[in-house]
Amino acid sequence: MRELGYQPNALARSLRRKKTHIIGVIVPDSANPFFAEVTRALEVALFKQQYAVILGNSDGDLERERLYTNTLVEKQVDGIVFVAVGQTGQEHALLIQKMQMPLVLVDRDVPRLAVDSVLADNAQGGRLATEHLLALGHRRIGCITGPSDLTPSADRVTGYRNALASAQIPIDETIIRKGDFQFQSGFDAARQLLTLPQPPTAIFACNDLSAVGAVSAAVALGLRVPQDVSVVGFDDVPLASFANPPLTTIHQPSHEMGALAAEILLGRLQNRELPPRRKLLETRLVVRQSTAPPNR
Q: What is the mean pLDDT of residues 101-111?
A: 88
> Is pLDDT of 88 > 80?
no
Q: Could you tell me the pTM of the whole model?
A: 0.89
Say what percent of the chain tops pLDDT 70. 93
Q: Which CATH architecture does the domain made up of 122-252 adopt?
A: 3-Layer(aba) Sandwich (3.40)
Domain residue spans in the chain?
A: 10-120+254-281, 122-252
Task: Let me know if the fold of 10-120+254-281 is the same as that of 122-252.
Answer: yes
Q: Is 21 exposed, middle or buried (0-12, 13-18, 19+ CB in 10 A)?
A: middle
pLDDT band for position 99 (cuts 50, 70, 90): confident
pLDDT tens-digit readout, 216-265: 999 999 999 999 999 999 999 999 999 999 999 999 999 999 999 999 99
What single letter denotes the amino acid at residue 211? Answer: A
* pLDDT score for 6: 62
State the maximum Cα–Cα separation within the chain, in Å, rounded to a whole number: 79
Distance CA 293, CA 47 (A): 47
126 φ, ψ (degrees, to nearest 5): -60, -35
* pLDDT tier for residue 180 given thresholds of 50, 70 and 90: very high
| Long-range pairs for 43-52: beta carbons < 8 A, 24 or more residues apart | 43/258, 44/259, 45/258, 45/259, 45/262, 45/263, 46/262, 46/265, 46/266, 49/262, 49/266, 50/21, 51/21, 51/22, 51/23, 51/78, 51/266, 52/21, 52/22, 52/23
Convert the pLDDT of each residue in 238-251 to its tens digit: 999 999 999 999 99
Q: Are strands 230-232 and 202-205 parallel, antiparallel or unpaired?
A: parallel
What's the CATH fold of domain 10-120+254-281?
Rossmann fold (3.40.50)
User: In this structure, how many other beta carbons lie within 10 angstroms of the beta carbon of residue 109?
Assistant: 19
